[in-house]
Amino acid sequence: MKCIWMVMFLAGVSVANAEKPNIIVFMADDMGFADTGFTGSEDILTPNLDKLAASGVIFKQGYVNHAFCGPSRAALLSGRYQHRFGFETNPAYDPANPAMGIDPGEKLFPERLQEAGYVTGAVGKWHLGAAEPFHPNNRGFDYFYGFLGGGHDYFRIDLTQSVKEAYLQGLVRNRRPADFEGYLTTALSRDAAEFVETNKNEPFFLYVAYNAPHAPQQAPPEDIERYKHIPDKKRRVYAAMVDVMDRGIGEVVTALERNQLRDNTLIFFLSDNGGPQPSKSQPGKWNGSDNQPFRGGKGNLYDGGVHVPFIASWPAMISPGQTFDSPVIALDIARTAVAVAGADATVEPTMEGVDLIPFVTGKNATAPHDALFWRDGDGRKWSVLAADGTKHVQDNDTKSPQLFFLPDDVGEQDNVLESHPERAQELYAKWSKWNESNVPCRLMGYIDYHKKRDLWYSEAVPDGAKKAGYKPKVKSNFK
């Protein structure tokens, strides 16, 4: 009798798991808002992303939680504003530093999915700490293939070079060193598709975090040649990088279709922030991206830095061909994933964000958020966006805060603060209330960190070595 009960129990578990949707999050890196077909690009081909967008919903006001890489990813994977745990800058790559990464007390949402019966995998860029406490296998991922730092060369590994931000270091597969063949973006896509094949018989979550089209600007020659019609060389290489990423996303979706998993797979796509744009102080900062029609880019709290391409597709649940106009944010991806998986978002630390499914299926006709919030530099830069599109922002470009009404001024050019001071005060009061639950940034930025570490090594060189002419190599391969 006991054996029969056990068989029935296991069968029940199998049926329950079969009903759970698979979940995939694709994240691009430093991608311009206007660089997909579904956001208006006419010179870069993204047929696979366009197909995904058409099969589900385009979030017209889709935002990320930070204007550059590491903090944006910390918010996405924790499902909480990263300011709650002091992750407000990019951590330096240092496998020996057990403090240089995301707070071990944060429960990342893949761990919540594991508890709900999911197999979890991450492929690509991590950037949440390189030491053991931060390793993806310790933070909710059963499988990891990629690199632990903030970027990587797309064609080579060279362990003879200075480590610094590890752009030339080897990759990692779970806890072992790993290599890649050919072009890195293609290798990551191939591995992600293999994850689907390997785990097709149980519910899975897959986080595919491309470093494309982040620097260094590199692409296969044959793909660059496909974009020879683009006059600007940097834009031409950038277009090829996006194109290869799009084809890789198509490869993963094909793996779903081949195994009859597509209908019951919830897919999100977004970029971690806007594309870098040139400035007076950094005229060469541009990576070839296009953030039109927005102001600013990576590093700015104007929409060019945080308003990104953002879509969701789930054929079994979300009707195709939709657009959604109210503001949503990357936190909502984590909360939605946990909700559809039947996991627990209330286990401390409690997740933020909202489950987007009731909103995109029409069950809830209200705006998902009363307001969204941003902070950088421990509050030296800040922003708040209300559901009606009114935005109050303090960025480095100006000495005083500004107020914009985005439905009439998407490019943030017409500052209406003087004519609407009460509205500005109201929004700043909301921001201040939100900010009460934040803590100071507990990480040193990677540039300052490397300077201090290099200085320490320089001073630590023994006198005998100095007399012999030894000088520590401190040249960075980070570009």
Which residues are catalytic, by number? 69, 127
List C-alpha distances in Å: 223 to 12, 39, 227, 247, 344: 49, 22, 7, 11, 44
Q: Is 81 left (phi over 0), alpha (psi -120 to 50) or beta?
A: beta
Tokens of 6: 């056990």
| C-alpha span between 267 and 271 (Å, rounded) | 14
- How many DSSP H helices and E strands does the chain contain? 13, 16
Q: Residues near 48 by Cβ (< 8 Å), separated by ≥ 6?
A: 246, 247, 249, 250, 253
CB atoms within 10 A of CB 163: 17
Q: Where is 335: in which H helix or E strand? A: helix 331-341
CA distance 331 to 76: 5
Look at residues 268, 279, 335, 280 and name the one whose alpha carbon lies nearest to residue 308: 268
Whole-number Å distance between alpha carbons of 1 and 104: 45
CA distance 325 to 208: 26
